[in-house]
Structure 1
């Protein structure tokens, strides 16, 4: 097939790798509107389960991504001025620019053509005319999707809290949080390393705090200076890095959650953020986009190239991924709501607040008093530990009795 991939993000590049490995005779071109290496976003996170899937899809690119990643197991929270640490599962961070470079190199090795500084502004673009398959991997603002929004059933929900995506020269060895109370309310950040020199730092607050501190109109340089002062104990004197906007206001955003009802139209199929977004606080955006690519490649494996077979494959891919996304989208909604209701949890002792931060995906938590929820959760945890101990001891005691 002739395949045109519109968008050179992780999903588009990885899909091109998978499809070229499945059938080297595919002619695949990836069109990216930005220059090579010009991406913004600092680092991305993922978990060990994704690496297992990437190794099955393409061991070479998986090894390159793993080698370029940093890892952590602990979670650190600074609440007001008190530190608390929780142990957790291994997480990974990698620079977004680094990941894109590795995937582009691997795609080029396999014979994929990656064209930079080449925007494709709609489904009627001449570059797409003779393609058997068009992949819309052009992000949340997808021009290909928005040409037919009613068909795809695109819907957006905008979050209440403003946030800003920053970098820092502080290299974190744990996934770190800081919650600071100001005269205008709470402001908080989460930070994680993605290389030996840089980390990502996302700052969020309620609208009243944002305007009360003057962050809505403050020049970027002044904004960064204020945030460095607020989070001085987390940053240890290191600087925050923005977009170098100088006297212009810093680029605060409100997260837009995208859902779509249908994922393909004829020969065009949606991938990654062009099809869905999930709130950044669950750190799953890149993982879900790469899982989309794996699912689409699998749906297209060994399918004849005729339009009817292609339509069936694309429909099956959409059904499968929409079903798989239900739990992640629910977790993302609950996570965003937890932060939007942050004052509800801040009267707890820091270690208890941090424990409930880890429980923010629970659909019960918004409806149960936080102190009560914490006590019940701890009790259930102890009971489950006892159940596991009994399951472990049972066969051993039985064998000992039998031998006696």
Structure 2
């Protein structure tokens, strides 16, 4: 099969790797409009289940990614100056530089015979008329998808809160949250390490807080200076690093959740963010993109007809993606309604933060939900101890330290 992948992100690169591993005779080219080594974003997060899946599909790239990752197994939560909590989880989390991950996947793809053409923009699948399959992995703003938006049934829902994706030289050894109250409302960030030198820091607030603090008219330098002051307690004097747009303004956004009625048209198929996006607060975007790649490769090699394979990929993958998008929607709404939870005692507040994927939580008074949650988890813990003769699996502990 002659395959053209448009976009050089994780979805396209991993798809090309898995296709070559299944059948080295495939003729695959990845087209990326940007120069080699240039990418947006800072760190990528993933969890134990993703690490295990990577080792199961391509151990070589999985080892390289693991060696370049940093790990954490706990969260630290700061709520103003009231409380700091340490939250321990049984699952390990990992961070890796997005640039490093793309470099590893590109090198692995090339070693298997995949051609990668940088600084080559494809705006029409007609430019790839000799390809048996065209994979649109060109992101949420996919040019190929937008050419046929009516066919794909593309819909976008814009989130209420504003956010900015930053880097910092402060290396966090735990996934760290900080909620700070200002004269104009609450603002918060979540930070995680992705190398020995840098961490990602995502800052979010309501539109009222954003305007009240003057971010709507501040340039990037002034925005970063104010954010460094607001989050001084966790940054320990380290700077925040931004990504300016063309006019020098800070790159504040409203998250856009994207869905499509169908994911394929003729020999064109959508992959990763071109097919769907999930709110960053659940950290699932890259994992879903890699999962898409694996599902599509399986369908292509187990079905004898291309259209049957693309239909199977969409049918089988959609259920997983819709579940993730539902969780992400509830997670985003939890932050949009932060005022509902922030005045609870901090252990209760963060326990409900952990429950933010629940479709029931927005409709039950928070304190009542917390009491029910404690009762249910207590019963589950008791059953676990009885079923294992006193031995239980990893437990979460919330420890108030201030």
Shorter-normalised TM-score: what interval?
Answer: over 0.9
Residues 329 and 187 of structure 1: CA distance in aligned 2, closer, same or farther (over 3 Å): same
Q: How does 1:243-254 map to 2 (within 5 A)?
A: 243-244=243-244, 248-254=248-254
Displacement of 1:266 in angstroms is: 0.8
Say if 1:16 and 1:107, in contact at 8 Å, map to a contact too: yes
Say if 2:302 and 2:309, in contact at 8 Å, map to a contact too: no
Displacement of 1:389 in angstroms is: 1.9
2:94 paired residue number: 92
2:326 paired residue number: 330
Give the SS at the match of 2:296. Answer: helix
Q: How does 1:145-160 map to 2 (within 5 A)?
A: 145-160=145-160
Say if 2:44 and 2:194, in contact at 8 Å, map to a contact too: yes
Distance 2:387 2:18 in 1: 43
Give the SS at the match of 2:29. Answer: strand
Say if 2:266 and 2:307, in contact at 8 Å, map to a contact too: yes
Is 1:367 the counterpart of 2:369 in the alignment? no
Residues 245 and 123 of structure 1: CA distance in aligned 2, closer, same or farther (over 3 Å): closer
Tell me the TM-score normalised to structure 1 length. Answer: 0.94
Is 1:345 the counterpart of 2:347 in the alignment? no
1:398 paired residue number: none
1:176 paired residue number: 176
Displacement of 1:206 in angstroms is: 0.2
Tell me the TM-score normalised to structure 2 length. Answer: 0.95
The superposition leaves residues 308-365 of structure 1 with CA deviations (integer Å, 9 ceiling, x where unpaired) of x000001000011111112211100000000000011011112221111111001111
1:108 paired residue number: 110
Residues 302 and 320 of structure 1: CA distance in aligned 2, closer, same or farther (over 3 Å): closer
Say if 1:123 and 1:147, in contact at 8 Å, map to a contact too: no
2:9 paired residue number: 9
Say if 1:220 and 1:246, in contact at 8 Å, map to a contact too: no
Give the SS at the match of 2:125. Answer: coil
Say if 1:221 and 1:247, in contact at 8 Å, map to a contact too: no
2:262 paired residue number: 262
The superposition leaves residues 10-41 of structure 1 with CA deviations (integer Å, 9 ceiling, x where unpaired) of 00000000001111111100000111111010
Name structure 2 gaps, 5 residues minimum.
Answer: 391-402
Q: How does 1:151-230 map to 2 (within 5 A)?
A: 151-230=151-230
Say if 1:220 and 1:247, in contact at 8 Å, map to a contact too: no
Distance 2:314 2:188 in 1: 36
The superposition leaves residues 72-130 of structure 1 with CA deviations (integer Å, 9 ceiling, x where unpaired) of 01111110112111111211111000000000000000010001011101222x2x110
Displacement of 1:239 in angstroms is: 0.6
Distance 1:51 1:75 in 2: 19
Displacement of 1:275 in angstroms is: 0.2
Residues 302 and 327 of structure 1: CA distance in aligned 2, closer, same or farther (over 3 Å): closer
Distance 2:73 2:85 in 1: 14
Displacement of 1:246 in angstroms is: 9.9
Distance 1:247 1:151 in 2: 35
Distance 2:51 2:341 in 1: 34
Displacement of 1:57 in angstroms is: 1.4
Displacement of 1:302 in angstroms is: 4.8
RMSD value, Cα: 1.3
1:242 paired residue number: 242
Residues 246 and 172 of structure 1: CA distance in aligned 2, closer, same or farther (over 3 Å): farther
2:382 paired residue number: 386
Say if 2:244 and 2:251, in contact at 8 Å, map to a contact too: no
Distance 2:68 2:86 in 1: 26
Give the SS at the match of 1:106. Answer: helix
Q: Which has the larger radius of gyration?
A: 1
Say if 1:38 and 1:97, in contact at 8 Å, map to a contact too: yes
Give the SS at the match of 2:388. Answer: helix
Distance 1:106 1:298 in 2: 19
Distance 2:41 2:239 in 1: 17
1:43 paired residue number: 43
Give the SS at the match of 1:97. Answer: helix
Is 1:312 the counterpart of 2:308 in the alignment? yes
